[in-house]
Every structure is written in structure tokens, then in C-alpha cells.
Amino acid sequence: MSGAAKILALAVLMAGVGSQAACTPEDKGVWLKRADKSLDPAIADAKATLPVFWRHLDGDPLITDPAVKVAFPTQHGGTEYLWIFVDSHSGEAFRGRVGNEPEDVPSVRAEQPYTGKISEITDWSYAKNDKQYGQYTTRILVKQGGFKDEARYLAPTPLEPGDR
């Protein structure tokens, strides 16, 4: 799996006494306490900049792997965040396929088709020139000491120069 594709496999679990962000089965996760609110500002920033993501998705032929992160309820009463690779979107909804295998959501599988509401989106990402843009929640987890290997694939900032 390429670095840019690997970082898209990141998930965040909010289950049981804590939560785990996982890349692929062989990678170690990052555990957060259920009450940890450190990702809230990142989620707010991602939601606020969603129009930038849609603009690039609709008009920039150089981007690849456009994806959005969505929360799913887990079988143990928590929340697992999964990446959905976006195939199409409208002002109210998006369609795509699940980008990673859930760890605690048995009703969902990787590559499964998914249709969701724009309001469900908690983060976004796309690759351009071998760098990942967006990835607001991933950037917080990197700062907290997780996903050190994936940090090299992140662009210096979530937005491209000139984006607002």
C-alpha cells in the first residue's frame, strides 16, 4: 500500500473505555479516552473547509483518493470513524465506498457502497503530488504522538496555498 493510500486507512474508534485510531491491521493504534475532546476543533475546521474539498474534487484533475470521514456506531456503544472514498456528491449527500475495514462495526465492510449526508462528514482528504491535504483529525493524532510514519505524507498545511 502506498503512503498516500495508507494514511487514508486511518480510523478513530470511540469505544469502551477509550478509542483507537488505526491505520492497517499491522499498525499500532492511538488510544483516546472516551471524553477526550482534542479532535473537536479539528472536526470543526474540517467541516468549515468542506467547500474547499468539494471545489478541488469538482475542478482539480490532479487530485486523487478523495475521501471523507464518517462516524459509525460500534457494537460496544462507541463510535468508529471510517474513511469513505467519494465517487459523487450533491449539496445534501455523497456516495462512495468504505475505505477501510471497521474494527467494531460488524455491519460494514471495506469497499462496501455507502451513501451519506453531507452533515455526517467529520473530516476530508485528498492526495495531490504525493501529499495528503485535509486530514485535520490525523494531524491532531500525529501531534499527540500517533501515526508518526504517516506524518511524512501530510502536506505542510491542511489547505493548499491560496485556499480559503
Q: Give the pLDDT mean for 13-38.
A: 44
Is 164 contained in some domain? no
Torsion sign across C-alpha atoms 119, 38, 21, 9: positive
Give how many domains the chain has, as a whole number: 1
- Identify the domain containing residue 131 by its residue range: 3-153
Res. 163: pLDDT tops 90: yes
Q: Tens digits of per-residue pLDDT, 87-130?
A: 999 989 999 999 988 888 999 999 999 999 999 999 999 999 99
Q: Is the pLDDT of residue 51 over 50?
A: yes
Summarize pLDDT for 64-93 with one digit per residue, the tens.
Answer: 999 999 999 988 888 888 999 999 999 899
**What values do phi and psi take at 117, rounded to 5?**
-90, 145
CB atoms within 10 A of CB 47: 15
User: Is residue 139 a part of any domain in this protein?
Assistant: yes
Residue at 144 is within a domain: yes
Give the Å distances, CA to CA, from 118 to 15, 54, 69, 95.
24, 11, 11, 10
Residue 160 within a domain:
no
* In-domain check, residue 84: yes
